[in-house]
Structure 1
């Protein structure tokens, strides 16, 4: 009889010892559920029924906590199109972060942009300001055109990189004679 009573006491003690704090469980579950992950990502962006960009990435992590963001830790590539789906430019980076509420984009490590004129931008950091509709950087930039190579620090460029300005130019610059183009 004593053995049986001792057995029941041990089982009851085990159940009491295994109690979970429901608040702690809910907090753990909410933190775990606050992140979405995806692989083999392809996203099409459009406005007014017209495709204007396509993003591809091997992986994506999306945080649902405020401020919400999307992270591309394994790199990304963006193809930007004109109204007739002609390729305007391509952009690639080793990492990227998109702040969903504000619309800002931050690209880092081996950022490369190539526009339809064959001009190539290389930098370690490039950012997108959706309010001003410009790309900008405060880091070192290299621009290679079919006729020239430019180097400097800081950059501002429009959305399709057809217009760009290096803030602090370094090195030789070739200036085209305005009379020779007439």
Structure 2
């Protein structure tokens, strides 16, 4: 009987939510909005929140314009650290139309960065680039670094913005 009681005491409490909409703010500014069909908040140590039926996050700029959208079929958020792990069909789309597809993505909300060491595919209006060993990016996905790049890349013509040949440069 004591063994059963000990097992019951070790079981941590779980809070469950359905049709979740949460607004996140930092220093009085709205930063993101999370929507999920189901949320489980585990009160164990360390506490974490799990999204087992998927999630969608809108990331805002200072004027509440949507900078990027993040979706995944699974998410886990560690409350004390502010870190998020996204898995299974992770997609990030920013307002310029750049799209990241990967199987796993880490999000450090305090540093406002995304990173992964898994293969990635990044699609822009003109190119599709793949990275075999992952990538790092800022939160609005406007500046990223791909590890082990493959795929065609369109480059701008550097001569198109060059000054005329007869112009002089002041020293």
Give matches, 1:1-182, under 5 Å. Answer: 24-25=4-5, 28=8, 31=11, 34-130=13-109, 132-153=111-132, 154-181=134-161
TM-score by length of structure 2 reads 0.85
**Aligned position for 1:9:** none
User: Considering only CA atoms, is the larger Rg found in Structure 1 or Structure 2?
Assistant: 1
CA distance in 2, matches of 1:44, 1:134: 19
Report the aligned-residue RMSD. 2.0
SS at match of 2:90: strand
CA distance in 2, matches of 1:52, 1:130: 10
Aligned length: 161
1:172 deviates by 2.1
Residues 58 and 70 in structure 2, CA contact (< 8 A), matched pair in contact too: yes
More helix per residue: 1
CA distance in 1, matches of 2:138, 2:107: 10
CA distance in 1, matches of 2:142, 2:161: 19
Which 5+ residue runs of structure 1 have no aligned equivalent? 1-19
